[in-house]
Amino acid sequence: MKKEYLTVIYAFIVGLIFSACADKNTTTAQPSAGSQPAAGAYSGRVVETMNSGGYTYVKIDTGKDTIWTAAPETQVTVGDSVSVLPGTLMRNFKSDTLDRTFEQIYFVAAISGAGAGQAAAGDMGAYHAGIQKESKNADPAAADFSGITKPDGGKSVAELFAQKKDLSGTEVLVRGKVVKYNARIMDKNWIHLQDGTGTKGLNDLTVNTSAEAKVGDTVLVKGVLVTNKDYGYGYKYDVIIEDAEVTVEK
């Protein structure tokens, strides 16, 4: 049991390192001595699943073959359409808790789309690459920020970027206008927020939330500011507000 636990933890750590270095469908990192090769992202339909020892084991039919993968415990049912980020391949892995040996299994940081059949990992790559539906997005340069005021006790977008070192890990309050919006990616809604302050590259704040909004809305955002957030695929945010409370004001 202890040996299995340590092996799984090792696989997840290595998987996280490879996922952070991976480029779309392939890894650019070379496995270190003694480690297993990393897999690219893939998606498909769940044909078998079980939970054991705090982990979820899932057999995925990709349409070309079937692949076993494991992640921290996740709600998954047979028939779900899921995607996974790059992970670490373990050969002849023996699960003592399942009393089963997997000839090949990929250990990954997360399974996306579980329970909902959506929010594929590839969608996150498309989102970060700016492949967004035109109908859901506006030209930030054309946005009217007149009337946008800094909330009492809050910060402007420019101030959040300028003071990110001191504000990292603290709850912040900011008001702005939604200039881009993408729904249900990695089980979150993604907002680009601007308030007319800041220079190019330091004037667009990314927020993820379970709340809904639309382009053109003026919103009040409250949440913990996170710095140097890396979602893998080479996409890293200097500043982001995660799991934010978003109130549409107008």
Side-chain half-sphere exposure of 151, counting CA atoms within 13 A? 17
Note whether 47 and 59 are within 8 A (CB): yes
DSSP letters, 37-101, are PEEPPEEEEEEEEEEETTEEEEEEE-SS-EEEEEEES----TT-EEEE--EEEEEEEEETTTTEE
pLDDT at 111: 82
Residue 126 CA to residue 130 CA, distance in Å, equals: 6
The answer to whether residue 212 scores a pLDDT higher than 80 is yes
Which helix or strand (DSSP H or E) is residue 24 part of?
A: none
Note whether 161 and 198 are within 8 A (CB): yes
Higher pLDDT pick, 61 / 25: 61
Which of the listed ranges 33-37, 90-94, 136-140 does the model predict with the highest average pLDDT?
Answer: 90-94
pLDDT at 157: 97
Place of tokens 């078998």: 48
The answer to whether residue 118 scores a pLDDT higher than 50 is no
Note whether 172 and 154 are within 8 A (CB): yes
- The topology under which CATH files domain 2-118 is OB fold (Dihydrolipoamide Acetyltransferase, E2P) (2.40.50)
Mean pLDDT of 50-72: 87
- pLDDT (tens digit, 9 = 90+) per residue, 147-175? 899 999 999 999 999 999 999 999 999 99
Q: Where are the domains of the chain?
A: 2-118, 132-248
The answer to whether residue 76 scores a pLDDT higher than 80 is yes
How high is the mean pLDDT of the chain? 76
Confidence of residue 20 (pLDDT cuts 50, 70, 90): very low
Give CA separation, 123 vs 48, 141, 153, 213, in Å. Answer: 24, 25, 36, 19
Mean pLDDT of 120-145: 49
Q: Phi, psi (5° rounding) for residue 136?
A: -100, 0
pLDDT at 33: 32
Higher pLDDT pick, 148 / 42: 148
Residue 20 CA to residue 187 CA, distance in Å, equals: 19
Confidence of residue 4 (pLDDT cuts 50, 70, 90): low
The answer to whether residue 71 scores a pLDDT higher than 70 is yes
Tell me the one-letter amino acid at 185.
I
132-248 — its CATH code? 2.40.50.140
Mean pLDDT of 14-27: 37
pLDDT at 11: 52
The answer to whether residue 66 scores a pLDDT higher than 60 is yes
Are 2-118 and 132-248 in the same CATH fold? Answer: yes
Place of tokens 């910060």: 155
